[in-house]
Amino acid sequence: MNGNTFVEVGFYQTRKYGQGTEGDTFLSRKTSDGRIVTALSDGLGSGVKAGVLATLTASMAVTFISDDIPVRRAAARIMRTLPVCRERGISYATFTIVDINTMDRVKIIEYENPPYLLVRELTQVEPIKTPVPVSAAKGRKTPPVMQYSEYDARAGDRLVFFSDGIPQSGMGTKAKPLGWGNPAVQDFALSCVASQPHMSARELARRMVTEAEGNDSWKAKDDISCAVIYFRDPRKLLVMTGPSVDPGRDRDMAEIFGSFPGKRLLCGGTTAMILSRELGRKVQVSLKNRDPDIPPAGSMDGAELVTEGIITLGKAAELLESGYSGQPVRENPATRVVDLFLDSDQIEFVVGTRINDAHQDPNMPVELEIRRNIVKKIAALLEERHLKETSIRFI
């Protein structure tokens, strides 16, 4: 964002036990001027109706602020738009909205969600919040009051916000008759960061949700959602796939691989063989945990992972498009590739343009697109849905 830090946005959730869909919605977007806007909304109740109202709320929030409407004015407009429950006289959805500019100035407005946590240097920082009353909408018993705060983020800061399914988890049990509670939630978040200081945003969000679900004996009594925004040094990933159109550039590929300041992923047997030959390093194929749908992965010194090319990348694109965010039912090379994508911030694709005759066979499945198109699709999904920075170089 400001040149020294990258803003990682992570999210994880589980729906209420027995429901077919989530009643919480989280949306994030990077605007044309480089700002990051996120919104977490909790619809009243659970299921489809709650999900629709939460989606409406989060969508309005992200759209309004992306259109340069100040966060407080945008929140007030949302409050006037939201329908009101006749029986309770409260809005059908709550929300937390975060707006981060390119200089890491953070503005937050909250309505009825649990208070967010600001973790800095293994300590919870108490932000100064200003009450923002809003004109009461028709049917509302009491005028709503939102909480507004803003601060300058520092490298290493984590902003953690969640729906009430987290602090209320375990309510009614012998161990936690009044629920997990905000103080215990805060302590858990701090202990996670203390045990693993460089934990990613999505991993911290996953641990928060998983712990809350465990409090409910793995049958969540409400929708449980958590978002984490982490200001950190960027994590870089190089993805090399496909041989160069000119075999004379094989040495260039090896130099790109060897000099890259981050993790490295090789996708394609020919690609791996070229680098193995040029660098004098062996490629070993692993036959453990084989998946019948995905060719086996391998390893090479200096690479995090070596996989087959077109099929594995195609499956990785499918996972990203489906909303995969970790913890696969069945781990395979494609899920490992996606995990590397999601745990990285700046991803550079180096794509060879030599045509592989095997992929021109008309009997091959339709989904095996040309390598370049698959990479472009993956890059677009990573940028639009996960706010990653990507670049593609063709050789």
Alpha carbon of 268 to those of 274, 304, 351, 352: distances in Å? 10, 14, 11, 10
For the cut 50, the answer to whether the pLDDT of residue 323 exceeds it is yes
pLDDT of 394 higher than 60: yes
**Does residue 354 surpass a pLDDT of 90?**
no
With 80 as the cut, is the pLDDT of residue 355 above it?
A: no
Residues 286 and 319 occupy one common structural domain = yes
Residue 250's region, left for phi above 0, alpha for psi from -120 to 50, else beta, is: alpha
Q: Does residue 140 surpass a pLDDT of 70? A: no
pLDDT by residue (tens digit) across 50-98? 889 899 999 999 999 888 888 888 888 887 777 666 555 556 788 999 9
Is residue 23 within 8 Å of 51, Cβ to Cβ? yes
| 45/136 same-domain check | yes
284 and 152 housed in the same domain: no
List the domain range (segments joined by +) for residue 334.
236-394
49 Cβ contact list (under 8 Å, min separation 6):
23, 43
In this structure, how many other beta carbons lie within 10 angstroms of the beta carbon of residue 389?
16
Alpha carbons within 13 angstroms on the beta-carbon side of residue 292 total 0
Would you list the DSSP string of 76-130? HHHHHHS-B-TTT-SBSEEEEEEEE-TT-EEEEEEEBSPPPEEEETTEEE----E
245 contacts 51 by C-beta, under 8 angstroms: no
pLDDT of residue 160: 98
Q: What is the pLDDT of residue 316?
A: 94
Q: Is residue 31 domain-resident?
A: yes
Q: Which pLDDT belongs to residue 75? A: 83
In contact, 227 and 9? CB cutoff 8 Å? yes
Assigned domain for 1 exists: no
Q: What is the CA angle 368-370-372, rounded to 5? A: 130
Q: Determine the pLDDT at residue 368.
A: 39
Categorize the per-residue pLDDT at 367 as very low, low, confident or very high, splitting at 50, 70 and 90. very low
Q: Are 213 and 343 in contact (CB under 8 A)?
A: no
For the chain, percent of residues with pLDDT exceeding 70: 89
Cα separations in angstroms, 100 against 18, 176, 280:
36, 36, 46
Report yes or no on 118 lying in a domain: yes
Window from 87-101, 114-128, 212-226 with minimum mean pLDDT: 87-101
Query: 91 lies in a domain?
Result: yes
For residue 136, pLDDT beyond 70: no
Top mean-pLDDT range of 80-89, 132-141, 184-193? 184-193
φ and ψ at 207, to 5 degrees?
-65, -40
CA atoms in the 13 A half-sphere facing the CB of 30:
17
Query: Tell me, what CATH number does 140's domain have?
Result: 3.60.40.10
Q: Do 48 and 196 fall into the same domain?
A: yes
Assess whether pLDDT exceeds 90 at residue 180. Answer: yes
**Partners of 111 in the beta sheet?**
95
Is residue 152 domain-resident? yes
More confident residue, 370 or 184: 184
Asked whether the predicted pLDDT for residue 328 surpasses 70, the reply is no
Residue with the bigger pLDDT between 285 and 115: it is: 115
DSSP 133-147: E-PPPTT-SS--EEE
Q: Are residues 214 and 302 in the same domain?
A: no
Per-residue pLDDT tens for 262-293?
999 999 998 999 999 999 999 988 777 677 88
Q: Is residue 184 part of a domain?
A: yes
Check whether residue 333 and residue 241 sit in a common domain: yes
Assess whether 359 and 340 both reside in one domain. yes
Instruction: Give pTM, 2 decimals.
Output: 0.85
CA 87, 48, 16, 64 torsion-angle sign: negative
Tell me, yes or no, whether 81 and 132 share the same domain. Answer: yes
Same domain, 249 and 219: no
Distance of alpha carbon 331 from alpha carbon 352, whole angstroms: 27
pLDDT at 192: 96
The Cα–Cα gap between 137 and 101 comes to 31
Give me the number of domains the chain comprises: 2
Please say whether the beta carbons of 231 and 155 come within 8 A.
yes
- Domain boundary residue among 184, 215, 232? 232
Residue 106 located in a structural domain:
yes
Kindly indicate the confidence band of residue 146, based on its pLDDT and cuts at 50, 70 and 90.
confident
- What is the bridge-based pairing of β-strands 224-232 and 158-162? antiparallel
Q: When comparing pLDDT for 167 and 328, which is higher?
A: 167
Burial class (CB in 10 A: 0-12, 13-18, 19+), 376: middle
Count Cα atoms within 13 angstroms, Cβ side, for 394: 9
Query: Of 232, 250, 280, which residue sits at a domain end?
Result: 232
Q: Mutual orientation of helices 333-342 and 371-386 as an angle, nearest 10°? A: 50
Q: What DSSP state is assigned to residue 196?
A: -
299 and 192 fall within a common domain? no
pLDDT-wise least confident of 150-164, 171-185, 240-254, 363-377:
363-377
Q: Of 55-59, 137-141, 240-244, 291-295, which range is least confident?
A: 137-141
Domain's final residue, options 232, 261, 296: 232
What value does the mean pLDDT take over residues 214-223? 95
What's the mean pLDDT when you consider all of the chain?
Answer: 88
- Which pLDDT value is given to residue 285? 85
Domain shared by 179 and 248, yes or no: no
| 153 plus 190 within the same structural domain | yes
The label of the residue with tokens 């496909």 reads 242
Among 44-53, 66-75, 134-143, name the one with the lowest average pLDDT: 134-143
- Tell me, yes or no, whether 332 lies in a domain: yes
Query: Per-residue confidence at 363, pLDDT binned at 50, 70, 90?
Result: very low
Please provide the DSSP assignment of 322-377 as one string: HT--S--SS--HHHHHHHHHHT-SEEEEEE-----GGGG-TTS-TT---HHHHHHH
